[in-house]
Structure 1
Amino acid sequence: MVAVIVIVVLVALGAAIGIWWSKRDRAGAGSSAIAAPVDPLAEGPGGPLDGLGIGAVVSHQGHDYVVRGQIRFDEDGYVWTEYHLDTGTDGEAGRAWLSVDVSDGTDVAFWRPADDAGELEPSGPVTYAGRTYKKVESGAARFTASGTTGVPDAGKAWYVDYQAEGGRRLGFERWSSEGSWEVSVGETVPVHLLEIYPAGRTSAGA
């Protein structure tokens, strides 16, 4: 008698497990796959940099800048982008750009040419405009350019990046191995302080 009861219990338990497993399979088949996590600060759709590209308007510290060109750098798979901006002013004083690096978390900086840099070279700590900058990284990267940038459509660039206390930056770039260094000064920009209006839009509601 005991053996019969044990058999009945085992059969019932097996049936219950079978029903549960069948429902699980049906539920799984009817649901979509879990989406991969998306970096909310990336340049792609949905982030605060969504729409950043040639023709877009960038609003920063009360000024609106139109993106005239962009340069995409690739250093052995490490990529970043410079967006060249129209400041509405002619000449060297009218140049400005945003650098955007999302390889190790979103890092955005606003740059302008370093006035009166003269023959400043990236050798050891450097001093510019009363600040001392320390070297943080250097290297060379392949690049492709589009729009208005003032550089070739493609090639290789060399760079050396410096930083001072308070996050102030100093950058050296050159577009040939024997070329002269272009020196620029920059500052980190919190992404939430930028407003990006994609090409064809002039306001958030347009």
Structure 2
Amino acid sequence: MSTTAIVILLGLILVALVVLIVVLLRRRPSSPSRTPDSPAAPKDPFAPGDQVAGDPRTLKAGDMVEYLGVRYFVRGSVRLREGGFTWSEHLLDADTIEGTKVWISVEEDPDLEVVWWTEYDIGDMTPSERTLTVEGVEYRRDEHGTADYTSEGTTGVGVQGRVEYVDYEGPRGKYLSFEQYGGGPWEAGLGERVPSGSMTIYPGGGS
């Protein structure tokens, strides 16, 4: 065989190999495309889910609340509005010693704050002073205003109306609050901020 023929044959073999490689590469299944891992969405460390089990902003009559090992049913709610600011107060079914009422207040200013309230007999005390001492704790007046309210379920107040309030703040998450519904007598409660993770909310039927 001549040298020219050998060169032509080698060239044909080389072309055939190239074509075969191209065909094999096209038949090879393509590997799935990799997408970069999506970065975790930013999360508010003080979001309601980290403070309590359930969202206290959705509390309503019929829900159940477990706090410090005791379960309570929400009997009714008072929804309050002053200008563009709103908050809620919820009456619980279980009373403390001698029938004292128990409430939970829920507000965002701007962080979510849940406070546990017990009714307090103020006697002749009125919210006229800048500081008041109750049971050895000194409270300083923090807020004073008038809000419109509507009520749901059993609350002990009218369906709607206006309420004047005066809030005092004490040390270590303690509060004293006065409320006067429809120009009636002053009512007062002592409050303590609900610690993170100490409350569980069970939605009632129809939620």
TM-score by length of 1: 0.70
The answer to whether 1:159 aligns with 2:165 is yes
Runs of 4 or more consecutive aligned structure 1 residues displaced over 6 Å after TM superposition? none
2:172 alignment partner, SS class? helix
Residue in 2 that maps onto 1:76: 83
RMSD value, Cα = 2.6
Count of matched residue pairs: 160
Pairwise CA distance, 1:104: 1.2
The answer to whether 1:87 aligns with 2:103 is no
The answer to whether 1:180 aligns with 2:179 is no
The equivalences for 1:95-134 within 5 A come to 95-115=101-121, 117-123=122-128, 124-134=130-140
Residue in 2 that maps onto 1:54: 61
Sequence identity (%): 37
Cα deviation, 1:134-172, whole Å, max 9, x if unaligned, reads 001110000000100000000000000001112211000
Residue in 2 that maps onto 1:13: none
Distance (Å, rounded) in 2 between the aligned partners of 1:50 and 1:134: 27
Gaps of 5+ in 2: 1-40
Pairwise CA distance, 1:190: 2.7
Pairwise CA distance, 1:102: 2.1
Pairwise CA distance, 1:88: 5.5
Classify 1:64/1:114 alpha carbon distance in 2 versus 1 (closer, same or farther; 3 Å): same
Matched residue type, 1:139: G
2:197 alignment partner, SS class? helix
Distance (Å, rounded) in 2 between the aligned partners of 1:136 and 1:121: 15
Larger CA Rg, structure 1 vs 2: 2
TM-score by length of 2: 0.70
1:69 alignment partner, SS class? strand
Classify 1:191/1:83 alpha carbon distance in 2 versus 1 (closer, same or farther; 3 Å): farther
1:108 alignment partner, SS class? strand
